[in-house]
Chains A and B, each alone.
Chain A
């Protein structure tokens, strides 16, 4: 926990999203004994999902099948899949661990991750469905110069996907090492290979169903855990909080906002990144093309928001219940955390837990459901990582094949067969890169990567997307410069922040604490406005012929966006 305190708000806040961000897992982890129950259950999951992939492969013929499951997913199914993309292993283990360590602060994070969803619903979900075909770049570039805007959108997609993917792979390796007792590199290779199989053979259909199954398993598992925990307290939250306050070293402080949000500027900046970053994540936006129409797109956001909100409430209960219940299990703690009589020392409750606070949910599973349930939750955690990296890889491969290859390199003259082939090669390539970087970054501090991915999504993808939908006067030049300005400023400001400048590059202040060149932990409060201002200035003073075409095309785009006329069927444009 000492290192926790020295972290910036942003990256501490983002820990839930990514296991690797947590202090306990950023250093060496102790490998556990081989957990056979967990491995059997995981093998059952893999066999089941490979069966689905086989079934999906037979149905995946056209580009539309590959990228969007042929648009045949219902709103409810897509809601589960979106929730699945969002409920990563890290958000399950990370948020419950955070609640365990700091109490109320965990809830603040959950809320930040959730509130982007209503915004997506109100401003972009149905618009994206009506305007796009396979990727969000279809929407960003709808009325603009295809070469410029697609290249820009594909680059920022790939940057976002890569950072997110590395973080997930490193987190996966460490988590699996802890849960299953496998070597780090074996875990990374298994995740990489399975992910490639799902995506290459089963495309979006398999990726979506893997995500749905995992979401259902995770929701059921978490419901069982929270339910058993509440049963223990006679279904009285007050009783649970009372006992938690009694045994927790921070006592009453866990019931109110703590030290993690240090100042208003950083708090708001983080809020902006979480809220608008969600609305710019390529693998999330891609899910809106898997449903048949705008009506189903709206429904999917509604269900997704419900599932995600419910899930965060469960993790909050799990974290609080763990404070009380784990304190009764000295076997989960390091020997140094125990008193002479074998009970857990109060001040060692958080720092003394074996495997770190990220293991809290796993330990609670064991405490309430025995070895069988422990195996189940471990297998679900593994499945979760697999599903999330598959979605990310598919989004990255689509940016390469649909945006870069089909629309920039082949200038729209490629055929579907070639495009699908390119996306399969791209998936294979991305899979190899993910495995390679996952192994290379094993010992690195990758805590900043998910934060960076969110910041770039919020500062490059989101402004261009929202301006292309709502602002008639944006031009190709404005979109191009605005997008790159957001991308570069988010990147540079993150490099100068404490999480990279101090924690990764090792710059320290006079007291030897990691330090950044700027006080901002998250660039969003600066980089989002930079992007919007550049879009405005360079569009406003764009007197080119291209600019006239861009502005003139808005009416037609607006009509299609609002009514869906022209969006049905092949969605060609």
Chain B
């Protein structure tokens, strides 16, 4: 890639918007996933009984079951959120930059 093309893209106002918003968005989602997962691991390590609490009096199903399922579903939903924003907003910004270059 030629250096002048790189400079043109870097100077494009939409380029700064693209990299800033994507960076924030991606790292926020990453931190959210890390907190959920390592929070779960730390509960298992320090307070495993918490997850063994029955859902209601007399029930066999414990809180740990829905918590585990929620983490699995959340992983899926978070990737879905990222895809919808990236394939929408971020790709639109990229398209603008590309069109302006031509």
Q: In the complex, A299→B79 CA distance in Å?
A: 9
> In B1-31, which residues have CB < 8 Å from any A CB?
1, 3, 5-6, 9-10, 15, 18-19, 22, 26-27, 29-30
| Residue on B nearest A124 in the bound complex, by CB | B26
The verdict on A117 contacting chain B, using a C-beta distance below 8 Å, is yes
Q: In the complex, A119→B22 CA distance in Å?
A: 14
Interface string of A297-325 (1 = CB under 8 A from B): 01101100110010011000000000000
CB-CB under 8 A from B49, the residues of chain A are 256
Residues B10 and A115 in contact, CB atoms below 8 Å apart: no
Residues A261 and B45 in contact, CB atoms below 8 Å apart: yes
Residues B42 and A264 in contact, CB atoms below 8 Å apart: yes
Given contacts A121-B82, A267-B44, A563-B94, contact A298 B61 (CB under 8 A): no
Interface string of A551-568 (1 = CB under 8 A from B): 000011011101111100
Given contacts A238-B60, A255-B52, contact A309 B10 (CB under 8 A): no
The verdict on B57 contacting chain A, using a C-beta distance below 8 Å, is no
Residues B72 and A111 in contact, CB atoms below 8 Å apart: yes
Partner of A563, one of B15, B69, B72: B15
Q: In the complex, A257→B63 CA distance in Å?
A: 11
The verdict on A44 contacting chain B, using a C-beta distance below 8 Å, is no
Q: In the complex, A562→B16 CA distance in Å?
A: 10
Residues A299 and B78 in contact, CB atoms below 8 Å apart: no
The verdict on A126 contacting chain B, using a C-beta distance below 8 Å, is yes
Q: In the complex, A306→B74 CA distance in Å?
A: 10
Q: In the complex, A123→B6 CA distance in Å?
A: 22
Q: In the complex, A241→B64 CA distance in Å?
A: 13
Interface string of B78-98 (1 = CB under 8 A from A): 111011001100010010011
Partner of A562, one of B15, B52, B76: B15
Interface string of A404-430 (1 = CB under 8 A from B): 000000000000000000000000000
Q: In the complex, A107→B61 CA distance in Å?
A: 14
The verdict on A508 contacting chain B, using a C-beta distance below 8 Å, is no
Residues B29 and A245 in contact, CB atoms below 8 Å apart: no
Residues A298 and B1 in contact, CB atoms below 8 Å apart: no
Residues B1 and A110 in contact, CB atoms below 8 Å apart: no
Which size bracket describes the interface of A in this complex? 35 or more
The verdict on A517 contacting chain B, using a C-beta distance below 8 Å, is no
Residues A256 and B52 in contact, CB atoms below 8 Å apart: yes
Given contacts A126-B86, A241-B60, A559-B10, contact A313 B72 (CB under 8 A): yes
Residues A264 and B18 in contact, CB atoms below 8 Å apart: no
The verdict on A100 contacting chain B, using a C-beta distance below 8 Å, is no
Residues A104 and B71 in contact, CB atoms below 8 Å apart: no
Residues B6 and A555 in contact, CB atoms below 8 Å apart: yes
Q: In the complex, A555→B45 CA distance in Å?
A: 43
Partner of A255, one of B29, B62, B101: B62
Q: In the complex, A238→B79 CA distance in Å?
A: 30
Among A271, A295, A301, A559, the most chain B Cβ lie within 10 Å of the Cβ of A559
Residues A268 and B75 in contact, CB atoms below 8 Å apart: no
Partner of B19, one of A252, A264, A562: A562
CB-CB under 8 A from A117, the residues of chain B are 75, 79
Interface string of A532-573 (1 = CB under 8 A from B): 000000000000000000000001101110111110000000
Interface string of A355-383 (1 = CB under 8 A from B): 00000000000000000000000000000
Residues A107 and B101 in contact, CB atoms below 8 Å apart: no
| Residue on B nearest A552 in the bound complex, by CB | B3
CB-CB under 8 A from A108, the residues of chain B are 44, 68
CB-CB under 8 A from A349, the residues of chain B are none
| Chain A min CB distance to B13 (Å) | 14
| Chain A min CB distance to B84 (Å) | 9
Residues A111 and B45 in contact, CB atoms below 8 Å apart: no
Q: In the complex, A242→B55 CA distance in Å?
A: 13
Partner of B46, one of A118, A264, A563: A264
Partner of B44, one of A119, A237, A257, A302: A257
Residues B61 and A237 in contact, CB atoms below 8 Å apart: yes
Residues B87 and A565 in contact, CB atoms below 8 Å apart: no
Partner of B60, one of A245, A299, A560: A245
| Chain A min CB distance to B61 (Å) | 5
The verdict on A499 contacting chain B, using a C-beta distance below 8 Å, is no
Partner of B37, one of A275, A298, A302: A275
The verdict on A161 contacting chain B, using a C-beta distance below 8 Å, is no
| Residue on A nearest B8 in the bound complex, by CB | A559
Given contacts A117-B79, A257-B44, A257-B51, contact A295 B72 (CB under 8 A): no
Q: In the complex, A425→B45 CA distance in Å?
A: 48
> In A258-274, which residues have CB < 8 Å from any B CB?
258, 261, 263-264, 267-268, 271
Given contacts A255-B64, A271-B41, contact A555 B83 (CB under 8 A): no
CB-CB under 8 A from A112, the residues of chain B are 37
> In A502-553, which residues have CB < 8 Å from any B CB?
none
Residues B60 and A555 in contact, CB atoms below 8 Å apart: no
Residues A563 and B97 in contact, CB atoms below 8 Å apart: yes
Q: In the complex, A305→B22 CA distance in Å?
A: 21
8 contacts between A and B (CB under 8 A): A112-B37, A255-B61, A268-B42, A271-B37, A271-B41, A295-B86, A563-B15, A563-B98
Not counting A119-B33, A563-B94, a sample of 14 additional A-B residue pairs whose C-beta atoms are within 8 angstroms of each other reads A115-B75, A118-B75, A121-B82, A122-B33, A255-B60, A256-B64, A257-B52, A263-B45, A267-B44, A301-B79, A302-B79, A305-B79, A309-B73, A562-B22
